């Protein structure tokens, strides 16, 4: 299961630099870059390597398997970000 960024995210974009599969969005070249309050991980692109979670200074990123119950809404929001319909 892919990693998920929760609402603890401060959108400092450190994780983008550490993601080997460029699964974290918005990317620098995306039109909505800098306009979101949170970043999202595309589950189809995520390699499940954990690099982003280790790099995150706010501990906002969790494996989907280890996502705390109180942060379960992050999984739904992440899914909606990539698959809105």
Distance CA 6, CA 40 (A): 9
Residue 21 pLDDT grade (very low, low, confident, very high; cuts 50, 70, 90): very high
Residue 27 pLDDT grade (very low, low, confident, very high; cuts 50, 70, 90): confident
CATH number at residue 30: 3.30.70.20
Q: What is the DSSP letter of 84?
A: -
The two three-digit tokens of residue 22, written as one number: 């460029």
Q: Are 36 and 11 in contact (CB under 8 A)?
A: yes
Question: How many structural domains is the chain composed of?
Answer: 1
pTM metric for this prediction: 0.90
Beta-carbon neighbour count of residue 62 at 10 Å? 20
pLDDT at 44 over 80: yes
Mean of per-residue pLDDT scores for the chain = 91
**What pairs with residue 25 in β-bridges?**
40
Which residues span the domain enclosing 42? 3-82
């Amino acid at each position: 299961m892919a990693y998920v960024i929760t609402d603890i995210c401060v959108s400092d974009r450190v994780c983008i630099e550490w993601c080997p599969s460029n699964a974290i969005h918005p990317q620098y070249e995306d039109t909505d870059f800098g306009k979101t309050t949170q970043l999202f991980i595309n589950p189809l692109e995520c390699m499940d390597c954990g690099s982003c979670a280790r790099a995150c200074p706010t501990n906002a990123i969790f494996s989907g398997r280890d996502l705390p119950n109180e942060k379960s809404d992050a999984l739904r929001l992440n899914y909606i970000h990539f698959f809105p319909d």
